[in-house]
Amino acid sequence: MKRILIVIAIALGILMFTAPDAWARGGIQGDIASCRGVDCARVSTFSPVTWETVSGEVIDVYRATSRQGYKSGLHLLVKANEETIDVHLGPISYIEGQNFNFEPGDALEIKGDRFTDSPMPTMTAIEVKKGNDILTLRDNDGFPMWRDSLRQ
């Protein structure tokens, strides 16, 4: 019994040290907890093959806080064709640091990775184009630009 408890403790210790790195690399999504009723925790499958580009108008801008009290994330509800998409951008501090702001009525073109397991149309934005300005949020591997110091 003691051996089993020791093995479990070691496994939990390893998980504690590796999970934050996986989140930082974009391997696990879930920094955002308030996803309009959608469970945002999912394993990411970032692949340029599955990306899509949608054009639409912002109908709402909202903040979501993390489960761990990390950073507040910015989301957009975008009306694209006949659907409303919940677009996950990234930390508010990063977006503001790029001198980007979003308002209802803004016309956008969003390149992103669609969640296929969400009840509401949802996507993680890779790049957002507003007029002639482009906000790059993630690289081609899905790695968040705000975590640049963790790249290897």
Cα angle 45-87-39, degrees, rounded to a multiple of 5? 65
Rounded to whole angstroms, how far apart are CA atoms 79 and 81? 6
Give the domain ranges of the chain: 2-150
Q: Encode pLDDT of 14-65 as tens digits.
A: 555 544 444 443 433 333 334 444 444 444 456 777 789 999 999 999 998 7
Beta bridge partners of 74: 63, 90
CATH superfamily of the domain spanning 2-150:
Nucleic acid-binding proteins (2.40.50.140)
Note the pTM of the prediction, 2 decimals: 0.67
What are the b/e assignments for 121-148, b being 16+ CB within 10 Å?
bbbbbbebebeeeebebbeeebbbebbe
pLDDT at 116 over 80: no
CB atoms within 10 A of CB 30: 16
